[in-house]
Chains A and B, each alone.
Chain A
């Protein structure tokens, strides 16, 4: 057991855990932040997507020992940013959700995309969102919601 001091959603948090414990389980089981989800544990689904210093990270394969002083942002706090708010609102306007289980990860990935690239096109969306699986198949709406949040034309421009 080692003591780690983390910056989670702007708050300093101290946990006493094995350094190999993935950030996902520190968030969920130690800090009671359950918005970040577990889907695969091997960086294959994106349900556990968080931001580390604003960059997308899969919390299920991020050992807590590797986090250091990086700012951890989770779904619980993404609405405190302007982009995060816009993405959440677009998700509600489009009504993206089916089961909703993947959607915290989708919102986190979409927010990081728009932060980097405020006017993403369909290729950019394909690239940025490929790592976030939606078992319910809400991709049509995720695409539309990202464009809605970014304020670009929602028409799907891919070849038909």
Chain B
């Protein structure tokens, strides 16, 4: 079993159906008010399990009409555990109040790919998950047709009922399931899907499935897992990435009160996000094992990364920026040549007006609020059972198989609700650590990291340096643009997610663009942070475009629309996959909603800024209104967001939550940084890695512009534009450009 009462170690998938409390709390059904003193939303008493019949890998129906739907993907706060079952329930024509959602285990044979990342889930599942529900409905219809001896064509459905209108007969799904499950499932291609105008579930706001459990404090997160005989573990790694252990006083640690074991764990493989050298401390409660680490004496061989420092990176980057790019960015096989670069540079140099600026952003840490943790049991029989808050269980299983030398099919992984993901839990270092510690200790262990460890051992969002030059013609039209992007890497390749797209706007929309790249050598662990690459690059490009618009003496919003509408055939740049028309539409709508045209009379110190971005197939335009005090402190007062993610907003209440969260997240990132010194991460906890707080969270107007396109995801695309929209608003308020993040590095005082 995968969530809920995690103390019960059972493989029966239907446990939650029997004991779960979700049944009466489905959707947005609100618990009834009760009198003082009685719990308003007490846990449901356990009910005896009804015999349940599997219709397919996702749907099981019991004779009492309860419909269990398996949620296949990891839940990290993006609402997928509620949303994918909505797709199934819609086409099944299920009565949502009879639906029980259960988290599936990691099992790609049964469920297909399981990942929380890339905002993939909506586009990937929009058709297949609806087909799952439609196929089950088809089988229920066929069973009813046989029972009533009428053709299927005379039957239709109402929520959880098959209806024969001619005779006014209704048969509940629960009465049909035993017969229906024996039938051969129809081919997906033969199914006729519901007309969207008949949707009863898709497009309705359905409350997060686990919300009632969350407000009651039920133990549903990874950190809450408890299994029989479990010990608690703390794992200390080298503060320098990939450092090796020379010696450690583990015997001394093992003798401390409350400590049952302590030992050295050795690195397996070469990944900095795999199993690394470290010391494990195992004991009876987590605080005791964590405190025991204060007595650890470890001698490390810090290795080659010990000289990494942000100060040195910055100076290397500025030296590289002065030279010619080491490489030129283009789609594979069509990278522009040095001659293209020279031509674009010449076009800038020959332009009527030149604009030049450099933008810098730092490394960032994901910092989901639930620190990394995992419970694992490497059993005597050679199998491994894992309870993990993970965004990508398959990758973790692979790491465990390699490190423990067991076959992947001997590993069971239960996906547990994640207290935030943001891309952090796409790496499964904590999973392989827990498994390795359990194996060496010979007991099930719950490994939990401290916040400091979470900050200092992370696949960071890479920092980067963009050096732009632009040329305007006599009418203020942008005619040429170059960007020398300085990033991190080795052997001619950028580190993971340390890239800048070769087709970044305005490539292909103006006469002449070439983008180049140079690498600062470094080997920090890097990885995807929510809206990877986009969250960084968008700030640089959409801020610089704003500078260009101002230099051209044009309205920054109209300037963007004019560029998007430009028919210019590119000399050296190529257009990316963005559909310019869809972006123009969201810009026009955000102009209306934000009152952009009326912004002129704003008092000094208050300003509005705009930005747009296309990422993860979503189109977002945002306007931010910011007030900067004379002392330079600033607050975002309001953000207007308009997004086009297609024809259907599947679960509106959750969709807007994702947009609101992305906006807060983006503003938060403007205050954050990770720096390195002597190969170590300098920041450690929320005192130097601040999260935006209640008083600094803006009002948000979130709007979806519906277009005639298949629906796409919302975990990420609303984030990138907020950073430049805010930075551009700060410029409008003060005349000062934020070209370096975190924003605190700019002096914004004014008189």
B672 CB, nearest partner CB in chain A, Å: 12
Digitize B210-235: 1 where CB-to-A-CB distance is under 8 Å, 0 elsewhere: 11101111110101101000001000
Residue B692 lies at the interface, judged by CB distance under 8 Å to chain A? yes
The answer to whether A35 and B216 touch across the interface, beta carbons within 8 angstroms, is yes
A interface, over-half SS? loop
Q: Given A74-B217, A97-B208, is A41 in contact with B34 using a C-beta cutoff of 8 Å?
A: no
Residue B409 lies at the interface, judged by CB distance under 8 Å to chain A? no
The answer to whether A135 and B654 touch across the interface, beta carbons within 8 angstroms, is no
Contacts of A57 in B (CB 8 A): none
Considering the complex, give the chain A residue whose CB is closest to the CB of B219.
A34
The answer to whether B31 and A140 touch across the interface, beta carbons within 8 angstroms, is no
Q: Which residues of chain A (73-92) have a CB below 8 Å from chain B?
A: 74-76, 78-80, 82, 85, 88-89, 91-92
Q: A47 CA to B368 CA in the complex, in Å?
A: 12
Contacts of A40 in B (CB 8 A): 451, 685-686
Q: A135 CA to B667 CA in the complex, in Å?
A: 12
Digitize A113-156: 1 where CB-to-B-CB distance is under 8 Å, 0 elsewhere: 00000000000011101101111111111110000000000001
Digitize A21-65: 1 where CB-to-B-CB distance is under 8 Å, 0 elsewhere: 110010011101111111111101101000000000000000000
The answer to whether B657 and A95 touch across the interface, beta carbons within 8 angstroms, is yes
**Contact-size category for B:** 35 or more
The answer to whether A80 and B369 touch across the interface, beta carbons within 8 angstroms, is no
B697 CB, nearest partner CB in chain A, Å: 4
The answer to whether B31 and A92 touch across the interface, beta carbons within 8 angstroms, is yes
Contact of B691 among A104, A126, A135, A141 (CB under 8 A): A135
The answer to whether A25 and B699 touch across the interface, beta carbons within 8 angstroms, is no
A35 CB, nearest partner CB in chain B, Å: 2
Residue B418 lies at the interface, judged by CB distance under 8 Å to chain A? yes
**Contact-size category for A:** 35 or more
Q: Given A100-B210, A101-B221, A137-B665, is A129 in contact with B40 using a C-beta cutoff of 8 Å?
A: no
Q: Which residues of chain B (396-424) have a CB below 8 Å from chain A?
A: 417-422
The answer to whether B286 and A29 touch across the interface, beta carbons within 8 angstroms, is yes
Contacts of B210 in A (CB 8 A): 97, 100
Q: Given A82-B36, A158-B637, A160-B625, is A92 in contact with B41 using a C-beta cutoff of 8 Å?
A: yes
The answer to whether A42 and B687 touch across the interface, beta carbons within 8 angstroms, is yes
Q: A125 CA to B697 CA in the complex, in Å?
A: 12
Q: Which residues of chain B (653-667) have a CB below 8 Å from chain A?
A: 653-654, 657-658, 660-665
A117 CB, nearest partner CB in chain B, Å: 15
Contact of B668 among A35, A92, A137 (CB under 8 A): A137
What is the interface of chain A, defined by CB distance below 8 A to chain B? 1, 17-18, 20-22, 25, 28-30, 32-42, 44-45, 47, 74-76, 78-80, 82, 85, 88-89, 91-93, 95-104, 107, 125-127, 129-130, 132-143, 156, 158-160
The answer to whether B217 and A75 touch across the interface, beta carbons within 8 angstroms, is yes
The answer to whether A92 and B285 touch across the interface, beta carbons within 8 angstroms, is no
Considering the complex, give the chain A residue whose CB is closest to the CB of B702.
A140
The answer to whether B663 and A21 touch across the interface, beta carbons within 8 angstroms, is no
The answer to whether A101 and B420 touch across the interface, beta carbons within 8 angstroms, is yes
The answer to whether B660 and A101 touch across the interface, beta carbons within 8 angstroms, is no
Q: A142 CA to B664 CA in the complex, in Å?
A: 13
Some 17 contacts from A to B, beta carbons below 8 A apart, are A1-B257, A20-B291, A29-B285, A33-B217, A34-B223, A37-B370, A41-B685, A88-B216, A91-B215, A92-B31, A95-B207, A97-B77, A126-B695, A129-B694, A130-B695, A134-B691, A160-B625
